[in-house]
Amino acid sequence: MTNTFEVKNPATGDILETITRDTPAQIAQKLQAGQEAFQSWKKTNAHHRANLLFKWSHLIQDHKEAIAEIMTKENGKPLAESLGEVDYATSYIDWYAEEAKRIYGRTIPTHADGKRLLVTKHPVGLVAAITPWNFPAAMMTRKAAPALAAGCTFIVKPAEETPLTTIRLAELAHEAGIPTDVMQCVNGRGRIVGEIFTDSPLVRKITFTGSTPVGKALIKQSADTVKSVTMELGGHAPVIVAEDADIDLAVAQTIVSKFRNAGQTCVCANRILVHESISDVFAAKLTEKTKELIVGNGLDDNVQVGPVINEDSYTKIVKQIDDALNKGASLLTGGTYDVNHEKGAFFVHPTVLANVSNEMEIMHEETFGPVAPLTTFTNLDEAIQIANDTPYGLAAYFFTDSYKVGNYLSENLDYGIIGWNDGATSAAHAPFGGMKESGLGREGGTEGLEPYLETKYISIGNFLE
Ligand code: NAP
């Protein structure tokens, strides 16, 4: 097996850099170093760790333009989105720098005289992270920041499509004063690195963002050493547009949710369910706005939709579109492609499909591409049944100005994240994560720190007051 891999620009096929994979022996050495560094890092005080995290965040902001350019080149997303992702990534560092100072224990009123009962919080140990290509900065900081804040040491393996952003962020962490063995980066194939991480008793926690099948494999592999796991996996987000919805708002927010990052986000609108009484108007407006989107190289001015990440993604998207059209869907716009197989550049034009029905693949499989399938419903219970008819449970959206309808949908949708008249819900201070096969645990918010902490209960007898 070749020990190097090429990082390519998905918009042009140009080789950006050749990266050397770490060998298993080198990865084992890094795990050992991370475990040894944990012995001193866990003893640092919370304010010291917070200050280092703030320095890291400020350094990233100082290099914001350069980092965003790297991200656009390796991932393909428009430059404006990359700049936005840098802000989003540092918002996690800032939030957890503050949260580091709020890792409280507690005392429990005792059941017997002369006792004192204490609860204290401790870092879990060395944390190993595996991250995907679709948010190369934010998926790293959303894991690294709470881990470091808690007093854990951290090692990350980025996706081979987009390691450059992560490598740069790790360099800046070291420049900020975070010790090199406290924050480490490894490069290698996911399956091989994943096995080394999960087999090692030195790693006490695995945190993963990526596909559901890989997440399931990592959970199984983590069982032998009983590691703590946080899993942010796939999604298949429904959008429900109720009869009384503000249609222009619903269209605008659906566009944001569907076409950001060329539809390659786990919280992307994937199934758009519109009340039958407004479906024609909604479809016409969504189509009109979709046609306005500018497709191209994310470094070019005004581009709003970049390429999809690779040929496998492209093939899956085209297969879903073909399957829907063969089974009776109508193409309202898109369904066209700019492809350079030789160079490896694959653009899918934003596509809207109407008359989509339940037997089509697109209603059951995550698309991860810029395709908006429209279907209709007649009453809310039918919409809820369709929305919940999936093993996924990450994000769901709905549009209504009725508080009764909104509350009913919020209560009955089996999803970890709900957007009510809102297509862009994520924030560092809010919990992010899914139900069912979309994952385990939450990242962000106060919930996002807890998985990096162990709870210790100390019962003191013969306590003198
Ligand atoms: P993926 O194939 O699961 O890859 C994600 C990461 O896992 C990459 O670093 C990859 O490494 C690594 N990997 C691959 N096979 C592995 C294995 N057997 N053991 C350990 N690691 C392995 O997912 P993807 O297709 O790149 O990313 C898209 C998926 O991520 C979608 O399903 C999406 O919904 C999900 N996602 C979820 C969230 C969330 O927060 N819930 C956020 C973003 C994306 P290499 O590819 O470098 O070998």
pLDDT of residue 130: 98
Which tens digit of pLDDT belongs to each residue from 51-100?
999 999 999 999 999 999 999 999 999 999 999 999 999 999 999 999 99
What distance in angstroms lies between residue 330's CA and the mean position of ligand 1's atoms? 32
- Establish whether residue 216 lines the binding site of ligand 1, counting it when its CB lies within 6 angstroms of any ligand atom: no
> Is the distance from the beta carbon of residue 232 to the nearest atom of ligand 1 less than 6 Å?
yes
266 catalytic, yes or no?
yes
DSSP assigned state of 42: T
108 alpha carbon – ligand 1 mean position (Å)? 42
Mean pLDDT of the chain: 97
Q: Where are the domains of the chain?
A: 4-233+438-459, 237-427
C-alpha to C-alpha distance for 61 and 65, rounded to whole angstroms: 8
Contact predicate 297/305, CB 8 Å: no
Instruction: Name the residue among 186, 128, 181, 126 with its Cα closest to residue 159.
Output: 186
Q: Which CATH class is domain 4-233+438-459?
A: alpha beta
pLDDT at site 4:
98
Q: Which of 214, 229, 231 to mutate to test the pocket of ligand 1 (most atoms within 8 A of CB)?
A: 214
Could you tell me which CATH number the domain at 237-427 has? 3.40.309.10
d(CA 91, CA 52): 15
Q: Return the pLDDT at 464.
A: 83
Q: Please tell me the pTM assigned to this model.
A: 0.97
Question: Does residue 152 have an active-site annotation?
Answer: no
* pLDDT attached to residue 1: 54
CA-nearest residue for atom 31, ligand 1, is 211
Tokens of 238: 């429904």
Residue among 266, 268, 366, 443 flagged as catalytic: 266
* Residue 368, Cβ density class (10 Å: 0-12 exposed, 13-18 middle, ≥19 buried): buried
pLDDT exceeds cutoff 60 at 414:
yes
CB atoms within 10 A of CB 319: 13
Which of 239, 225, 224, 259 minimizes the C-alpha distance to 369?
Answer: 259
Torsion over CA of 106, 153, 177 and 130, rounded to 10 degrees? -120
Confidence class for position 42, pLDDT limits 50, 70, 90: very high
Do the strands 228-232 and 330-333 form a parallel or antiparallel pair, or are they unpaired?
A: unpaired
83-142: pLDDT as tens digits: 999 999 999 999 999 999 999 999 999 999 999 999 999 999 999 999 999 999 999 999
Q: Which residues pair with 49 in a beta bridge?
A: none
Q: How is residue 436 written in tokens?
A: 């069912």
Closest CA to ligand 1's atom 13: 190
Q: Which of 5, 22, 130 to mutate to test the pocket of ligand 1 (most atoms within 8 A of CB)?
A: 130
Question: Can you tell me the mean pLDDT for 282-295?
Answer: 98
Helices 46-62 + 138-150 axis angle, to 10: 160
- Dihedral of the alpha carbons of 172, 174, 176, 182, in degrees to the nearest 10: 120
